[in-house]
Amino acid sequence: MSSITVAAQPGPFSFDPAHTALVMIDMQRDFIEPGGFGATLGNDVSLLKPVVPAAAELIAWCREHGVLVIHTQECHQPDLSDCPPAKRLRGKPSLRIGDPGPMGRILILGEPGAGFVPELLPQEGDLVIAKPGKGAFYGTDLGEELTRRGITHLIFGGVTTEVCVQTTMREANDRGYECLLIEEATGSYFPEFKQAALDMIRAQGGIVGWTATLGALR
């Protein structure tokens, strides 16, 4: 398939869909719905709701154009063996990782809350990466999967922009991937942090990568 070029910042972003993957970060009920991990930390999770239809549109666009769809989920093993105490004990949440909540144990693999929102369920042919950290490369086989599939370019969406999305995008950039973040398909509990992350990523000639709107893909 031939290359696609989209209007982006700081300049046009070109990619071959056959060598590109969408990395949709952590669109899980625990971050987006009331009663989950995000809410236990005191966040207004309703701020992330508008990301869901935009992420659905981005996923549909990628499937239509032959771009591999990867879904990450931040979660831990039931025995918490992959959850450092420093992470579990951080802050003053009403429920900690592993505690039982209204959507099952908070951020535990296999529990309803750690699953994806119903609008964004993985389909056959997609790749699902369970990750114990904020970045999607740490403690996972994402790097090997991308190499094995000959992926050179990554498109990003998901939540939250300045935490798991930015952490993953920065490491992907260090690993040599050309990275594009789609603005409407990412969100934060802190709109000003989202804006700052977008600005940081594309500053200095695209020091971490590119950003574009969904409209640029249509």
Residues designated as active site: 26, 131, 164
Residue 13, classified by CB atoms within 10 Å of its CB into exposed (0-12), middle (13-18) or buried (19+), is buried
Cis bond before residue 168 (omega within 30° of 0)? no
Tell me the longest C-alpha to C-alpha distance in the chain: 51
Nearer to ligand C5J, 129 or 217 (CB): 129
Shortest distance, CB of residue 164 to ligand C5J, whole angstroms? 3
Nearer to ligand C5J, 14 or 173 (CB): 173
Helix (H, G, I), strand (E, B) or coil at 90: coil
Query: What does the DSSP 8-state code read for residue 102?
Result: B
Q: Is 159 in the site for ligand C5J (CB under 6 A)?
A: yes
Q: Is 171 in the site for ligand C5J (CB under 6 A)?
A: no
Q: Which of 67, 75, 120, 164 binds ligand C5J (CB under 6 A)?
A: 164
The pair of structure tokens assigned to 157 is 């969406």
Q: Which of 47, 67, 154, 163 binds ligand C5J (CB under 6 A)?
A: 163
Span interacting with ligand C5J, options 51-59, 108-116, 147-155, 158-166, rule CB under 6 A: 158-166
Shortest distance, CB of residue 218 to ligand C5J, whole angstroms? 27
Interface positions, 74-103, toward ligand C5J (CB under 6 A): 74
Shortest distance, CB of residue 146 to ligand C5J, whole angstroms? 19
Nearer to ligand C5J, 39 or 217 (CB): 39
Q: Is 142 in the site for ligand C5J (CB under 6 A)?
A: no
Q: Which of 6, 15, 23, 26 binds ligand C5J (CB under 6 A)?
A: 26
The strand ranges marked E within 16-139 are: 20-25, 68-74, 100-101, 104-105, 127-131
Helix axes of 191-206 and 166-174: crossing angle, nearest 10 degrees: 20
Rounded to whole angstroms, the Cα distance separating 130 from 183 reads 24
- The four Cα atoms 58, 60, 63, 69 give a dihedral, to 10 degrees, of 50
Nearer to ligand C5J, 87 or 149 (CB): 87
Nearer to ligand C5J, 127 or 136 (CB): 136
Rounded to whole angstroms, the Cα distance separating 112 from 3 reads 39
**Residues interacting with ligand C5J, by CB under 6 A?**
26, 31, 74, 134, 159-160, 163-164
